[in-house]
Chains A and B, each alone.
Chain A
């Protein structure tokens, strides 16, 4: 049997079980098998892109995707489109904003959507308080840029008071 990509004999017969369309058998020469297998050692970005692609093929239409892509995190300003391209999220609050679309992605990657394991003893502040902290930092930088130092120092004090009250707040982000 010949390799399905060239004239060389196929010495590798790979059955891919994870394709959405069902098991797929590939017949490849050593060189193409190596190439194919090396794709599996992909970077996190391409891994995310691949999984998202599968997810989108499964359930979403082009219009739904376009709509999803425009969704934006009110805290860090990242759009789903940006995340899809870079494979990196913008802030912890994205896990809350994009939860509906991240959950199937997490299942694709990890075959699970529930953390099992270590939990910090120091509780993280609530999602809203964390979002507020991130936004306040932004505002402080803007105030400094505009040389409005009075406003900047007010914001700094607010950040400090939020940070010092962190440990007694809820852990639910």
Chain B
């Protein structure tokens, strides 16, 4: 495992800080731009030499930038499977970049606010992540980063179709604006499908998050713009920004409804979830996500008052398969991970009490 990544493993990452506007419901805001270098084929038709030339060109140009001096630059093709998975869990690289072949890299800023993927589906994928609802700020940061890189690199651009991308679904602005939301009450009250439907009519897509394997993770949803061409970047950011308060309002109403109608059941559900997390001897990553989601909602509703939300946010990421292995310092099979995960949860939850929540390493 790459020691350069060990330090990152112990941190929480910007997007899980658990702070920022509406952070009880909005986990993070992410803005990404897709860009391609002029004069090269898209990745699908790149030879291994083209990929190397793109990687070297981008790296050489970026190294000139003052803002680049603290950046951690990693050749993804040289990383172990666990390290690649670790970066995926951290949302610093995509699954596609982790799994593809040939020269590819990622540049990560020390605060984990931005990362630049090189040779993903497009030559460049610039992304900025903020904790809580902070789309305007995230857009401004990614735009400034794009300006800097664009000062050094000539992008493939068409006067009519805008920034040219490998997939026409990204053409134009190359912009994807995403907000990750925690919507447990809309799931419990079975309102979530209605919400899906209403969003599809306004060109906004919703995706569930996936954990280890392919099981559907019910309570976390990512809302993003579907269209990238024909509207300015500001209009696209605005479009997603306008829909989020509506979703937050739905979720809050559903939470209030649950408290008013069935507080005892809800309290029981939340307490059981905490109980299982504190006492299980082996536990899968899906089950952990499921129960942590309930505990997180319990904290936000005031049903649990002796556990900080930051602890739960950290546990969400630290109990993922690659994080567990990085923190343990060795590779573990699935069965061993389940035992290690249960013990990790116990250490950090069971002892927590008023003012005494266990500090995570």
Contacts of B207 on A, CB cut-off 8 Å? 41
CB <8 Å contact, A106 and B161: yes
Contacts of A121 on B, CB cut-off 8 Å? 150-151
Question: B157 near A: Cβ within 8 Å?
Answer: yes
The complex places the Cα of A82 from the Cα of B229 at a distance, in Å, of: 23
CB <8 Å contact, A34 and B193: yes
The complex places the Cα of A90 from the Cα of B36 at a distance, in Å, of: 12
Contacts of A95 on B, CB cut-off 8 Å? 158, 161, 164, 171
Within 8 A of B (CB), among A80-95: 86-92, 95
Question: A60 near B: Cβ within 8 Å?
Answer: no
Question: A37 near B: Cβ within 8 Å?
Answer: yes
The complex places the Cα of A77 from the Cα of B41 at a distance, in Å, of: 10
A interface, CB within 8 angstroms of B: 12, 14, 17, 30, 33-34, 37, 40-41, 44-45, 47-48, 75-78, 86-92, 95-96, 102, 105-106, 109-125, 129-130, 133-134, 137-138, 141, 162-163, 166-167, 171-173
Contacts of B36 on A, CB cut-off 8 Å? 92
CB <8 Å contact, B151 and A122: yes
CB <8 Å contact, A106 and B193: no
The complex places the Cα of A40 from the Cα of B39 at a distance, in Å, of: 35
CB <8 Å contact, B154 and A125: yes
Which chain A residue shows the least CB distance to B201? A17
Which chain A residue shows the least CB distance to B36? A92
Other A-B pairs, 10, CB within 8 Å; known A37-B197, A115-B161, A172-B159: A41-B206, A87-B167, A88-B42, A89-B166, A95-B164, A95-B171, A106-B168, A115-B159, A116-B235, A163-B39
CB <8 Å contact, A89 and B233: no
- Our pick among B41, B169, B190, B206 for the contact of A134 (Cβ within 8 Å) is B41
B interface, CB within 8 angstroms of A: 36, 38-45, 47, 49-50, 53, 121, 143, 146, 150-151, 153-164, 166-173, 175, 190, 193, 196-197, 200-201, 203, 205-208, 227-233, 235
CB <8 Å contact, B45 and A122: no
- Our pick among B40, B50, B200, B230 for the contact of A116 (Cβ within 8 Å) is B230
The complex places the Cα of A134 from the Cα of B217 at a distance, in Å, of: 43
Shortest C-beta distance, B52 to chain A (Å), equals 11
Given contacts A113-B160, A117-B173, A163-B39, contact A40 B200 (CB under 8 A): yes
The complex places the Cα of A141 from the Cα of B161 at a distance, in Å, of: 30
- Our pick among B154, B166, B233 for the contact of A124 (Cβ within 8 Å) is B154
- Our pick among B39, B156, B171, B190 for the contact of A106 (Cβ within 8 Å) is B171
CB <8 Å contact, A141 and B42: no
Residue pairs across A and B with Cβ atoms less than 8 A apart, 9 shown, are A45-B167, A89-B167, A106-B168, A112-B172, A113-B230, A115-B159, A115-B162, A123-B157, A125-B38
CB <8 Å contact, A115 and B227: no
CB <8 Å contact, B53 and A115: no
Contacts of A129 on B, CB cut-off 8 Å? 39
